[in-house]
Amino acid sequence: MNPLKALHGHGQSIWLDYISRGLITTGGLKRLVEEDGLRGVTSNPTIFHQSISGSADYDGAVRHALETAPGITTQALYELLAIEDIQAAADILRPVYDASDGADGLVSLEVSPHLAHNTQGTVAEARRLWQTVGRPNLMLKVPATSEGAPAIETLIAEGVNVNVTLVFSLAHYEAIAHAYIRGVARHPDPRRVASVASFFVSRVDTAVDKALGAIDIPEALALRGKVAVANAKMGYHRFREIFYGKPFEAQRKRGGRVQRVLWGSTGTKDPAYSDVLYVEELIGQDTVNTVPPATLNAFRDHGRVWPTLSTGLDEAKETLARLAALGVDLDAVTEQLQRDGVAAFASSFDQLLASLDEKRRALQVGALAPSRPA
């Protein structure tokens, strides 16, 4: 059996952490849904930057937009292109959404990362995008900053699906899980709203491995490549306590959905590790794994499927205890990772706009050959 499809039998949905006009128009996304059991799509400013600036797939659409509205701003142009992609992907995944009663078939679009520390700005932007995209299987991505938590509560209460991104620590997770529960409590029909908590994985190993390498003793080097999975398993354990325990009990009785844990940043960055490490080690009920195309292909080829999240909790606790004994402050590391993540997405967003502005100028002066709208 296709390992990607086998994941669903263990309660995990596989999503694609990538979107592009070409993937949609060539039928590639539809094939992934039909042949691999793909159940969702996530995007971020970095992905859109790579997709829009890295190919000619959008040239026709940009030219058409400039002919239709010559005075359009670069940011409005980006939003037009991104929303077209999100709407098209949402339409392809709509049968999955309907068949799963709204649990899957979701497509994520990031609220501007420049609003990560602006609660009201995030809420206003999310409301606007929700209305503009006009698809019930849209998910809006909001970062798990201290300012993001109240925005998440408000949006959930209003029935807006939220993908909470840039979760790195148990502290981040606790805050947004309870924000979700408060939002569900305010929603008149919580069965109609969905949310995931995106726990980032590989970036933790990248940062911690660097600290362990600086210590450079056998006890430290033995922990390399193990901390991210241990941290994620602790997060999953807390998820089970919250959503199958008293904190969510009242809302569960009202029909509220659990806020599934989504494993993000699951492409392996260190070539010394298995290219499917962050998929194989994090399989379990009520989870999503969103993977880049290379990881999707690797797991289809040689992934092994078994419920790894149901084991290894004691080992995870021991790993984190050993890390602390070596003097590595994981809380400090994960706080810095969240700050860096917000900054990186903001930088990618700015680079995207700069590249798109360059493309529009080239098209306006005829430097690029004409093409039909995509």
Which positions ≥6 away from 16 have C-beta within 8 Å?
29, 32, 38, 40, 41, 42, 290, 291, 292, 293, 296
CB-based contact 29:40 (threshold 8 Å): no
CA distance 75 to 90: 22
Number of other CB atoms surrounding residue 240 within 10 Å: 16
CB-based contact 362:74 (threshold 8 Å): no
Q: Convert 191-205 to b/e letters by CB count within 10 Å (16 or more is b).
A: eebbbbbbbbbbbbb
Residue labelled with tokens 């008293």? 246
CA distance 363 to 346: 26
Query: Bridge partners of 260?
Result: 196
Residue labelled with tokens 């569900």? 184
∠ at Cα 129 (70, 51), nearest 5°? Answer: 65
Is 359 considered catalytic here? no
Helix (H) or strand (E) holding 32: helix 28-36
Of the residues 30, 141, 233, 317, which is catalytic?
141
What is the set of active-site residues? 141
